[in-house]
Amino acid sequence: MHAVVARVTARIAERSRDSRAAYLAGLDSMLARAAPQERMGCANLAHAYAALPGAEKIKLMAERAPNLAIVTAYNDMLSAHQPYHAYPALLRDEAARCGATVQVAGGVPAMCDGVTQGTPGMELSLFSRDVIAMGTAIALAHDVFDGALLLGVCDKIVPGLLIGALHYGHLPCVFVPAGPMRSGLSNREKAKVRELHAQGLVGRAELLQAESAAYHSPGTCTFYGTANSNQMLLEAMGLVLPGAAFVHPDAPEREQLTRAALHTVLDIGRRGARFTPIGRLVDARCIVNAMVALLATGGSTNHLIHWVAVARSAGIVIDWTDFDELSSAVPLLARVYPNGEADVNQFQAAGGPLWVLRELLAAGLMHELPSVHPGGLAAGARMAATASGDETVLRPVRQPFAPTGGLRLLQGKLGRAVIKVSAVPEDRLVVQAPARVFASQEELLAAFSAGGLREDMVAVLRFQGPRANGMPELHKLTPALSVLQEQGHRVALVTDGRMSGASGKVPAAIHVTPEALEGGPLARVRDGDLLRIDARAGTLDALVDAAEWQRRTPAPPPEALPRGFGRELFTHFRRNAASAEQGACTWL
């Protein structure tokens, strides 16, 4: 085991000792209970089974057949989730063949960040994660289940399902992916058309044509953003069938993998050969494996928030210093857009998540752990080829793209922040320039369209944190900032908001904590202040005289509270949200 990985794991386990012990005690008390048929009232059972066909009622009542919950995030709005419409029938059919039953225990909402990007709806996005977690708990609260199949792929949906399922840690759970769409217009070509449009060089019709050629059918979008990072992290945690993530929705193997997921939940159930409740599987080592996989692939910055919340749901406490320390030892093995030209289909063809696991396990950078698959992570990793299928996409640990991971911690006078370095050109890892403060992304884009930004600048967008407006992704800024960068200006973004997992090539210090609304230093920044983002040194500073800095009165937050688009319904989420570094949890 690599010394840094061992040290960080030990520190996390020690820090989490009491909370993890309390979590496991709760899990064991749930396991100690009698079967639902004894433990629950007759009316409860009758209600639970009322809609089942007669034969299945008998299976459950008389034969005590295993009954599995399906928690589904199906809707037609996420291309990645649209295939799920057919999954319950498929799983029901497979369960009947195994003498088991399945019930759709509940559906959870799923927001497509691509649809809401740049719109007020994006201010519900982060908190939808906790709504999904609550929905998962509501589904599993029917409490007549021997295991769960979790149907979700995208950004906040996998974290939300995982957070909810971990609150039922006594259950064996398996994630059931649906796969990516085939490659259309490449992500780089799509980004180019966006930049031309941002400069007024192509019209809306041409832009729409390009976007539609990129996003063209059912399946996950092909950039390595938050959704596809979710798949890599689920593989690293052993919560999905090995190699299941990136098989296309319409491939013949997809149905086999979905049916096999049902067998797997039965195998790891209490009557199966390898009882593996999710709450025991997800321990400090498992969380560290996810962190390592994120760093080794330059995954989404959103997981520096979501996986803190996931870990906490299993009684495990992690922070950005843990990520940063691991990043110093974990090499960058993958270059998938926005970290390179390739898309997730080329990533899969080059060896995919299993190849990454194989390399990281062999190098002692990942813990060899049990998984939902017989033989654990190692057995899954052995399914990968021994050599990379394309060294422009996947490289071995002995010859990585970079000796350190794709995400870094920044800290200094402006607070603590994170930056994705794997997508930023080498000569942009340090940017020192005058601040330009904007009240909103719209204001910045208007200034860009008016031609007012042709200069070196650090754009500061504040009051975008969890408690301010729900911490939206500000990814619509990427084309404009990219154009400025390509014109030779030294530009960067500093914000207490988020960026998309698909953002990348412009240096961005994001998730700044404490957020401006909570007295964070960003509120003291003025136009013209010299700011410095140094991703090499890991610093984020305002080069302003200390006395002057202290004298300053923090800028006031925007008067109007977020209203419309149902944002009023999330007032208590904003009020209760923990900091980004604490996972922006709204339930603590």
Ligand X SMILES: O=C(O)[C@H](O)[C@@H](O)[C@H](O)[C@H](O)COP(=O)(O)O
Nearer to ligand X, 56 or 155 (CB): 155
* Per-residue tokens: 457: 């600048």
Q: Residue 103 Cβ, how far from ligand SF4 at the closest point, in Å?
A: 26
From ligand X, ligand SF4, none, interface partner of 419 (C-beta below 5 to 8 A by class): none
**Concatenated DSSP letters of 430-459:** EEEEEEEEESSHHHHHHHHHTTTT-S-EEE
Q: Which stretch binds ligand X (CB under 6 A): 113-121, 129-137, 347-355, 507-515?
A: 113-121
- Residue 191 as a binder of ligand SF4 (CB under 6 A): the answer is no
* Per-residue tokens: 49: 């089974």
To the nearest 10 degrees (0 to 180), the angle between helices 320-327 and 284-297 is 60
Question: What mask, x for binding ligand X by CB under 6 A, covers residues 198 to 237?
Answer: ---------------------------xxx----------
Q: Residue 436 Cβ, how far from ligand X at the closest point, in Å?
A: 23
**Through-space distance between the first and last CA atoms of the chain, rounded to whole angstroms:** 34
- Residue 473 as a binder of ligand X (CB under 6 A): the answer is yes
**Strand partners for 147:** 68
Size of the site for ligand SF4 (CB under 6 A): 12
- Residue 464 as a binder of ligand X (CB under 6 A): the answer is no
C-alpha pair distances (Å), 252 with each of 76, 258, 259, 380: 22, 11, 12, 20
- Residue 220 as a binder of ligand SF4 (CB under 6 A): the answer is yes
From ligand SF4, ligand X, none, interface partner of 475 (C-beta below 5 to 8 A by class): ligand X
From ligand X, ligand SF4, none, interface partner of 79 (C-beta below 5 to 8 A by class): ligand SF4
- Choosing from 171, 193, 227, 311, the residue that interacts with ligand SF4 (CB under 6 A) is 227
From ligand SF4, ligand X, none, interface partner of 80 (C-beta below 5 to 8 A by class): ligand SF4
Q: Which stretch binds ligand SF4 (CB under 6 A): 42-50, 77-85, 302-310, 341-349?
A: 77-85
E-only strand ranges, 99-251: 101-107, 147-151, 173-175
* Per-residue tokens: 366: 């990942």
Residue 195 CA from chain centroid, whole number: 26
- Residue 154 as a binder of ligand SF4 (CB under 6 A): the answer is yes
- Residue 343 as a binder of ligand SF4 (CB under 6 A): the answer is no
Amino acid at 578: A
- Choosing from 69, 78, 150, 234, the residue that interacts with ligand SF4 (CB under 6 A) is 78
Nearer to ligand X, 67 or 116 (CB): 116
Q: How would you label 284-310 residue by residue, b for 16+ Cβ within 10 Å and e otherwise?
A: bbbbbbbbbbbbbbbbbbbbbbbbbbb
- Residue 241 as a binder of ligand SF4 (CB under 6 A): the answer is no
Q: How far apart are CA 168 and CA 499, in angstroms?
A: 31
Size of the site for ligand X (CB under 6 A): 14
Sequence-distant (6+) residues with CB within 8 A of 285 are: 9, 13, 367, 369
Nearer to ligand SF4, 139 or 158 (CB): 158
Contact 226, 303 (CB under 8 A): yes
Q: Residue 588 Cβ, how far from ligand X at the closest point, in Å?
A: 24
- Choosing from 56, 94, 113, 283, the residue that interacts with ligand X (CB under 6 A) is 113
